[in-house]
Amino acid sequence: MRLQDLNWMDVESYLQHDTRIILVTGATEQHAYLSLMTDILIPTRIAEAVAQREQVLVAPSLNFGVSYLFGEFPGTISLSRTTFDHVVLEIVESLFHQGFRSFFIINGHGDNHLPERLQDFQRAGAIQVMWYDWWAGDAAQNFARRHGLEIRHANWGENFPFNRVADSPSGVKPDAGVSKMEERYIARQVLGDGSYGGPYHVDDSLMMALFEAIVDEAVAHLRAMASAPADPM
């Protein structure tokens, strides 16, 4: 269920039996031959698959994240870390005011992090927050290890059919030397096409198996939140 498909009365009815909501954070930034919105498209697809199985609401995605490192690549749009933190905090505060208490945040970008203020609210028992970096979870990491692979920026691990906008090169890109990227002005020089290295793609059957494993893991996290509703402030 997506907020965009409902009216406010539908949401009020939903809150009578469930106070969970899925938020999606990511970025608009270079991903080599993949969509600039890869970090949004992937977690959004995960969120929608989870929501369909669990009948939980999904809020509109936050399309921009902390992407200053890729500022020299055309199409990248970045927020400062302070701005990102404030936006996420104010989204949660708005929804909390209406009665939402459990926030499952599916994140698609490595430089985004859970704002410290939300961690404070959670420690105080006001809300539940689960921050889920899909590529770093057990499902994705175990899948990669089983197949002798490593998920890195803009390589096979992010190359799903639904965020593919051009044909990627065949073969394997050598390690791009990410450790040399001390500041954004040399990132493009170091990365070349933007991939961090490794295979550009694998068979789509593997990618969809990976997707289903991630969705299963996300569903388990969401169900765990259902058993411990937080009390209002």
Judged by average pLDDT, the poorest of 66-70, 188-192, 193-197 is: 188-192
Question: Where residue 182 falls among pLDDT bands split at 50, 70, 90?
Answer: low
Residue with tokens 């068979």: 203
pLDDT at position 165 is 96
Cβ count near 112 (within 10 Å): 25
Q: Give the whole-angstrom CA distance, residue 45 versus residue 48.
A: 5
The set of residues, in sequence order, having a beta carbon less than 8 Å from that of 232 and lying 6+ positions away, is: 101, 126
Mean pLDDT of 140-163: 97
pLDDT at position 188 is 86
Q: Give the whole-angstrom CA distance, residue 52 versus residue 43.
A: 14
Mean per-residue pLDDT of the chain:
92
Mean pLDDT of 87-109: 95
Max alpha carbon distance in the chain (Å)?
55
Segment 10-39, tens digit of pLDDT? 999 999 999 999 999 999 999 999 999 999
Mean pLDDT of 176-200: 80
Beta bridge partner(s), residue 2: 58
pLDDT at position 126 is 79
pLDDT at position 230 is 47
pLDDT at position 185 is 66
Residue with tokens 């044909």: 167
Mean pLDDT of 204-227: 93
Residue 233 has pLDDT above 50, yes or no: no
3-226: CATH architecture: 3-Layer(aba) Sandwich (3.40)
pLDDT at position 157 is 97
Mean pLDDT of 159-181: 87
Residue 116 has pLDDT above 50, yes or no: yes
Q: Which amino acid is at 67?
A: S
CA distances from residue 233 to 15, 71, 124 in whole angstroms, order as listed: 17, 40, 9
Q: Give the whole-angstrom CA distance, residue 75 versus residue 62.
A: 16
Segment 33-56, tens digit of pLDDT? 999 999 999 999 999 999 999 999
Residue 229 has pLDDT above 50, yes or no: no
pLDDT at position 181 is 62
